[in-house]
Structure 1
Amino acid sequence: MTAWRLAAKLLGIGLVAALVVWTSLHPSRLTVWVLASPLLLLAWAQRQRWPATHPQHTRARALSALCVLGFALLVLASDALVTRFGWLYLTQHVGAHAALAVAFGRTLLPGRTPLCTQMAAWVHDDVTEPPLWRYTRGVTLAWTLYFTAICGLSLLLFFGASFASWTWFSTIGTLVCTGLMFALENFARRFFLPAKDRIGLLRTIEVVSRQLSRP
């Protein structure tokens, strides 16, 4: 993945976040449609990931159909949901980050391989070397705590601050914090990993994106 492609993707994410902020601060049917749009993206991703010859294709088609149905139901109920869209956005934001916290955290349990260690195995021949193992386990813990903290801050701002403050945090703020987290983790490799085990941020994103897109 080139720097230009990454920049284009980040720009697209930023534009989407700006659209979410604007529609949230100016509630209308469009607000609910924007909220529901990830369901269409999920439906498309499922159909693209699993080819017709793959055993998971039938399951992917069913999930895609459910996503499209969910989108249609939200659109049809958009008038009634306009006054309650804040709760829907909160559920989406907290739910997504809670799921990520669980996904990372559960791999830290005894007898399991930390998630970041599994990812490191995509580019390293031996992830059992003590420095790499300790580092990837620590990074898995760091991401678990990060996603948990985002959930807590989201709830704190939603119930304790203005809706506008929460909206900015849940969109632009979360993106900035996640970007900083990636940058800090990449910087930390200089201190905790030997030179032979370090890979750059762009290479990391490229490998993870390629692996996640595989059937």
Structure 2
Amino acid sequence: MISVRNLILASIGLAYLGVGYVATTVPHPPLVTVLIGFVPLGAAALAAAWKSRARVPLLLLTLACMLLMAVFVNQLRDHVAWVYFVQHAGAMTLLGLTFGATLGGRHGEALCSRIATVVIRSPLDDRYLRYTWQVTLAWTIYFATSAVLSVLLFFFGPITAWSVLANVLTPITLGLMFVAEYFIRRRVLPDGPEVSIAATITAYRAFTNRTDTP
């Protein structure tokens, strides 16, 4: 059953994607779409500054940058597509590097293997860890492909095509990746631990929150 919290988060996410599509496809987007576009970047910058050892100077620098963007917000309106592009291509690239960087060691060190240990308390055998390594590889390829397509469409294709990729196809294919992985796992590892799609997503959040804690 979908919780109220997850339903609210999903609604906010869909609204943001809708705003992103409007902001990147109309010649002179509404001012509110520009401001909303800066929310994820601003939040990420503030969070990174807060966790840094140089907290005070980085927070001041971040706030100064935000103030500067607010002053020139009308000029930024005609280039707001860049804001959404940096977020999409940057996120895909960062996720691809995050997953791919864990593929060089043992199967148990792959990111999906480590996430599996969060949700599955019992020891995982070599077969299961080999599978989660392959899942990590699949996610790496997915994110790398998404990043390349984002760059190619933004610079060499119509902006509408890029916006469809970023705001429509990306959330759909992300969902399909989770669904496909679940059914493939049940077929390849029928005797393995039962882990739902929701539990997988929750485990990933718990894992990232744990690793981000100083």
Query: TM bucket by the smaller chain?
Result: 0.7 to 0.9
In 1, Cα distance between equivalents of 2:61 and 2:128: 41
The reply to whether residue 180 of structure 1 matches residue 176 of structure 2 is yes
Deviation at 1:140, TM superposition (A): 0.3
Taking the TM superposition and a 5 Å limit, the aligned residue runs for 1:28-47 are 28-42=30-44
Amino acid at match of 1:70: C
The reply to whether residue 76 of structure 1 matches residue 78 of structure 2 is no
RMSD over aligned CA atoms reads 2.8
Match of 2:152 in 1: 156
Q: Which of the residues 92, 97, 100 maps onto 1:97?
A: 92
Residue 93 of structure 1 contacts residue 170 of structure 1 at CA under 8 Å; is this kept in 2?
A: yes
Q: Cα distance 1:110–1:208, how it changes in 2: closer, same or farther (>3 A)?
A: closer
In 2, Cα distance between equivalents of 1:169 and 1:125: 37
Taking the TM superposition and a 5 Å limit, the aligned residue runs for 1:8-23 are 8-23=8-23
Q: Cα distance 1:176–1:124, how it changes in 2: closer, same or farther (>3 A)?
A: same
Amino acid at match of 2:85: L
Deviation at 1:35, TM superposition (A): 2.0
Amino acid at match of 2:205: S
In 2, Cα distance between equivalents of 1:81 and 1:9: 28
Taking the TM superposition and a 5 Å limit, the aligned residue runs for 1:46-195 are 65-110=60-105, 113-125=109-121, 128-195=124-191
Q: Cα distance 1:70–1:96, how it changes in 2: closer, same or farther (>3 A)?
A: farther
Residue 46 of structure 1 contacts residue 61 of structure 1 at CA under 8 Å; is this kept in 2?
A: no
Number of equivalences: 208
In 1, Cα distance between equivalents of 2:3 and 2:113: 25
Residue 100 of structure 1 contacts residue 144 of structure 1 at CA under 8 Å; is this kept in 2?
A: yes
1:56-76 CA distance string (max 9 Å, x none): 585566655544443322222
In 1, Cα distance between equivalents of 2:52 and 2:87: 26
In 2, Cα distance between equivalents of 1:63 and 1:127: 42
Structure 2 unmatched runs, 5+ = none
Match of 2:7 in 1: 7
Equivalent position SS for 1:141: helix
Equivalent position SS for 1:195: coil
Match of 1:53 in 2: none
Equivalent position SS for 1:122: helix
Equivalent position SS for 1:110: coil
In 2, Cα distance between equivalents of 1:62 and 1:180: 42
Q: TM-score, with normalisation over the residues of structure 1?
A: 0.81
In 2, Cα distance between equivalents of 1:18 and 1:41: 19
Structure 1 unmatched runs, 5+ = 51-55
Q: Cα distance 1:125–1:29, how it changes in 2: closer, same or farther (>3 A)?
A: same
1:49-94 CA distance string (max 9 Å, x none): x8xxxxx585566655544443322222222222332233322211
Residue 43 of structure 1 contacts residue 67 of structure 1 at CA under 8 Å; is this kept in 2?
A: yes
